[in-house]
């Protein structure tokens, strides 16, 4: 169990446990990096973020399987489209059992939009912006929860690492 401690400024920080990194089940990771090449929303470092995080994790931990979606891929199945990201969420959790560790890393545009179902305290849903967001739409946090999180077996660890560039509460 993670321990919480107070630092001198009163802020809460999470300290690592002795068991961190000692997963007794399978480790599976999904890495998504989107630079939005050739668009007004182009970013420069998202694919590098994915490469660096993937390299760090695979060098320091035993990752059994991983999937990388980046918009520099020549394989259409590895492009970070809305459909491919959603399918990758399903792949990530497929067959998960107690003791497994799942990792999701996203680097790209993110945004906010008006909450449609009243479940957000601030009235806004957060979004991920796939490479084809202009035609296929964004991925709303409720969808991420429904597809990736809801119903995961007890004892499965899901870690999400995101670096979202947000502009004007919407995908740029």
| Active centre residues (catalytic) | 109, 164
Minimal CA–CA distance to 122: which of 132, 110, 112? 112
Cβ atoms 98, 154 nearer than 8 A: yes
Cβ-Cβ contacts under 8 Å for 1 (sequence gap 6 or more): 17
Q: Is 8 helix (H, G, I), strand (E, B) or coil?
A: coil
Q: Is 165 helix (H, G, I), strand (E, B) or coil?
A: strand
Which structure tokens are listed for 50? 């994915």
Minimal CA–CA distance to 123: which of 111, 113, 108? 113
d(CA 27, CA 23) in angstroms, rounded, equals 8
Cβ atoms 110, 165 nearer than 8 A: yes
d(CA 101, CA 20) in angstroms, rounded, equals 11
């Amino acid at each position: 169990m993670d321990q919480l401690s107070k630092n001198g400024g009163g802020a809460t920080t999470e300290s690592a446990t002795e068991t961190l990194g000692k997963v007794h089940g399978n480790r599976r990771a999904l890495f998504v990096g989107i630079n939005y090449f050739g668009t007004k929303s182009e970013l420069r470092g998202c694919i590098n973020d994915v490469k660096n995080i993937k390299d760090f994790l695979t060098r320091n931990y035993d990752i059994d399987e991983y999937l990388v979606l980046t918009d520099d891929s020549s394989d259409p199945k590895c492009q970070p489209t809305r459909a491919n990201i959603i399918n990758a969420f399903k792949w990530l959790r497929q067959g998960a059992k107690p003791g497994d560790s799942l990792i999701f890393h996203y680097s790209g545009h993110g945004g906010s939009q008006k909450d449609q179902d009243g479940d957000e305290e601030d009235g806004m849903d957060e979004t991920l912006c796939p490479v084809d967001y202009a035609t296929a739409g964004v991925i709303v946090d409720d969808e991420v929860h429904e597809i990736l999180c809801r119903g995961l077996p007890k004892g499965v660890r899901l870690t999400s690492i995101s670096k979202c560039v947000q502009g004007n509460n919407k995908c740029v």
